[in-house]
Amino acid sequence: MDETQIIEHLKNGDEFIYKYVYDKYVRIIFNVCYKMAGSKEEAEDASQEVFIKVFNSIDSFRADSKLSTWIYRIAVNVCINFQRRKKIVKFLSFDFWEEEKDSPVENSTPLKSLEKLEIQNTVQRALNRLPAKQKTALILSRYEEKSYKEIAEIMGTSLPAVESLIFRAKENLAKKLSLLKNN
C-alpha cells in the first residue's frame, strides 16, 4: 500500500489502517520521545499522545511532506509541550556508548563501569543545558539519522537554520563539557 492510499484510508477512518500506521511508526516515535523525555514512562505517554494527535488531526495533513515527516513533527512538538508542562528541563537520554553494549562482560571492571557512568552523567548535564531547538536538531541528526532536509521539515524551519542549529549545538556542547570537566 502506498502512502497516498494510507492517507486516504486514515482520512476515511479505517480502523485497520490505524493499527497499520501505529505498528509501522510506534518504535521510532517511542525512541524519539525517549531521547527527548529521558524516561520510559514519559516516552510511553508522549508516544500515545502523538498517535492520538495523528489520528485526530489527519484531516489537516496537507501532504506537502511525507507522512513520516509529519508524524515526527508531531512527536517533537508533543515532547516539547510535555517539557513545558513539567517546567523541568529533563531532555535526552543519550547513550554515546551503544557499541559497548555488545562487548563481552569480562572486559568491564567496576572501575571502568564507574568511569563510564561518570562520563555519561557529565555528558548528560552538558546536553541538558543546550537550548531546546539545538537538542532537538541534534537528536534527529545523531540518533534518528535524519538528513538536514528532513530535520528542517520536521522542525518547520529552513535547511540553513538546521545547519546552524547543529553547528551551534556541537559548539555549545563542547564548551559545556569543557566547563563541567573543569568543575
Helix intervals (H) in 59-158: 67-86, 110-128, 132-138, 148-155
Q: How large is the average pLDDT for residues 132-146?
A: 86
- Over 90: is that where the pLDDT of 71 sits? yes
Are 7 and 63 contacting, i.e. CB atoms less than 8 angstroms apart? yes
Query: If pLDDT is split at 50, 70 and 90, which confidence band does 36 have?
Result: confident
Q: What is the pLDDT, as a whole number, of residue 183?
A: 59
Cα–Cα dist 166/159, whole Å: 11
Which domains occur in the chain, in start order?
1-90 (1.10.1740.10), 96-183 (1.10.10.10)
pLDDT of residue 77 exceeding 50, the answer is yes
CA 78/CA 57 separation, integer angstroms: 14
- Reported as a pLDDT band with limits 50, 70 and 90, residue 22 is very high
pLDDT at 46: 92
Does position 96 have pLDDT exceeding 90, yes or no? no
pLDDT score of 93: 39
User: Is the separation of the CB atoms in 56 and 50 below 8 Å?
Assistant: no
Mean pLDDT of the chain: 80
Tell me the pLDDT tens digit for each residue of 99-109. 444 444 455 67
pTM, 2 dp: 0.58
Average pLDDT over residues 86-103: 42
- Decide if pLDDT at 95 tops 80: no
> Between residues 112 and 6, which one has the greater pLDDT?
6
Which 3 state secondary structure label does DSSP give 66? coil
